[in-house]
Chain A
């Protein structure tokens, strides 16, 4: 392991790797990434793996669209031979009330203005797209054919390989014990495998971002929350798009290998680092899934697990430097949708660290909360 670095990135999830890659791509030398376990072992590897562009705010649509461009041309863009198993069979968002449908209409306007090919669908059209769908109480939906699914491990692995090709040092199984500062300035990172002298640190530790920030006495306005998920045995493809409903609270999709992955946003889940699975989730999820897709009834669930959402006050990412400590940067608070915008986040963080103009016209700095500039995104689970 190197004992000097220009930037140390803490966190080997998709965001950390994307940041490391983008820094190196800008010509930043001696970037070192440290990860406590293996790459994508945290939220990245535990997520639902969906990639969608159907958002309600212009800036989320922009980040998602730009990220999708990277997913679509992953091998060429990153110059790595990694198949990320991208499946673009769409996202079908379901509306169960007029309010919801009205919101979709507004969203689609924003999306279309950015060239995202989403459109409104009737219950009949929804049934045509997903023949097994229960259309009871369904009023309509929104569908974007270019949304889909990608393999989070492969994406992370692709970024790390691309980063390594550009000279980044990736250290797995390396835990950060302390960030050393002197007179408010970072002087290095103490890991269980040695000390790395550095003046710049990026906190991309996902569910543990707030813990890392505490090492420099910074309080981030984020907390972690358990979200659960399950997977079934694989069967022949029957469900093309990701199915999602905000009001019925579910997401469900069939991965390219044939298994179904699904989850929902829990009610009253207290902030914690708890990653245990629960039988309550298994029961609630089963009822939801079978109501929505009745033929799933006889399908076997083979695994359930949990991961941490790193929640921010407006459920939007914080990609920013912080005031308290010079050259300490955070990419956190992804609130469950970090994977699908990670490619764009890497670009943004590289802009911030290299003090360049932001590539995308977005507001994700941490000071927005003080300014009262809260982003209100209507489309989250």
Chain B
């Protein structure tokens, strides 16, 4: 969910950005990071931890922890909380099977 009105801040929604999560089409806005766009769309689980398979979501949102790592356009371990969202990005939920694509 997005904040529509705020007593102090003004949020100007940028233009719509289309992207894909595990093949499904999603919408974010210019200015979003991958994680903020996903969270606003109700996606809270971003990855699964490698040994214990625990669900993980956004934790620090400043690129310090490893909670929000996902596969973005084939590149694994991308910190989605600090990576700006771009048109057509293909995002995949990351689990232990991280593969290297060229």
- A–B contact at 8 Å CB threshold (below): yes
- The reply to whether A236 and B98 form a contact with Cβ atoms under 8 Å apart is yes
Other-chain residue from B50, B77, B99, B102 in contact with A300 (beta carbon distance below 8 A): B77
A233-B77, A235-B76, A300-B77 known; A295 and B102 CB under 8 Å? yes
Q: Does A167 contact B (CB under 8 A)?
A: no
Other-chain residue from B98, B101, B102 in contact with A258 (beta carbon distance below 8 A): B98
- The reply to whether A235 and B102 form a contact with Cβ atoms under 8 Å apart is no
Q: Does B52 contact A (CB under 8 A)?
A: no
B61 to chain A minimum Cβ distance, whole angstroms, is: 20
B46 to chain A minimum Cβ distance, whole angstroms, is: 17
Interface residues of A in 289-336 (CB under 8 A from B): 294-300
- Please report the C-alpha to C-alpha distance between residue A294 and residue B101 in the assembled complex, in whole angstroms: 11
Q: Which residues of B contact A123 (CB under 8 A)?
A: none
Q: Does B97 contact A (CB under 8 A)?
A: yes
Other-chain residue from A236, A295, A297 in contact with B97 (beta carbon distance below 8 A): A236
B66 to chain A minimum Cβ distance, whole angstroms, is: 10
Q: Does B75 contact A (CB under 8 A)?
A: yes
Q: Which residues of A contact B98 (CB under 8 A)?
A: 234-236, 258
Interface residues on B, range: 10 to 19
Kindly report which residue of chain B lies nearest to residue A294, judged by CB atoms.
Answer: B102
Q: Which residues of A contact B99 (CB under 8 A)?
A: 235-236
Q: Which residues of B contact A233 (CB under 8 A)?
A: 76-77
Kindly report which residue of chain A lies nearest to residue B66, judged by CB atoms.
Answer: A233
Q: Which residues of A contact B76 (CB under 8 A)?
A: 233, 235
Most buried by B among A235, A295, A296: A235
Q: Which residues of A contact B75 (CB under 8 A)?
A: 298
- Please report the C-alpha to C-alpha distance between residue A219 and residue B50 in the assembled complex, in whole angstroms: 50
Q: Does B1 contact A (CB under 8 A)?
A: no
Most buried by A among B50, B75, B76, B97: B76
Q: Which residues of B contact A298 (CB under 8 A)?
A: 75, 100-102
- The reply to whether A238 and B100 form a contact with Cβ atoms under 8 Å apart is yes
Q: Which residues of B contact A235 (CB under 8 A)?
A: 76, 98-100
- The reply to whether A297 and B77 form a contact with Cβ atoms under 8 Å apart is no
Interface residues of A in 248-270 (CB under 8 A from B): 258
Fill in one digit per residue for A204-240: 1 if any B CB lies within 8 Å of its CB, else 0.
Answer: 0000000000000000000000000000011110100
Q: Which residues of A contact B50 (CB under 8 A)?
A: 234
Q: Which residues of B contact A299 (CB under 8 A)?
A: 100
Fill in one digit per residue for B20-37: 1 if any A CB lies within 8 Å of its CB, else 0.
Answer: 000000000000000000
B75 to chain A minimum Cβ distance, whole angstroms, is: 6
Interface residues of A in 83-136 (CB under 8 A from B): none
- Please report the C-alpha to C-alpha distance between residue A234 and residue B98 in the assembled complex, in whole angstroms: 8
- Please report the C-alpha to C-alpha distance between residue A258 and residue B95 in the assembled complex, in whole angstroms: 13
The 7 closest A-B pairs by CB, nearest first: A235-B98, A236-B99, A235-B100, A295-B102, A233-B77, A236-B97, A236-B98
B residues contacting A by CB (< 8 A) are: 50, 75-77, 97-102
A residues contacting B by CB (< 8 A) are: 233-236, 238, 258, 294-300
- Cβ contacts A to B, 22 pairs, < 8 Å: A233-B76, A233-B77, A234-B50, A234-B98, A235-B76, A235-B98, A235-B100, A236-B97, A236-B98, A236-B99, A236-B100, A238-B100, A258-B98, A294-B102, A295-B100, A295-B102, A297-B102, A298-B75, A298-B100, A298-B101, A298-B102, A299-B100
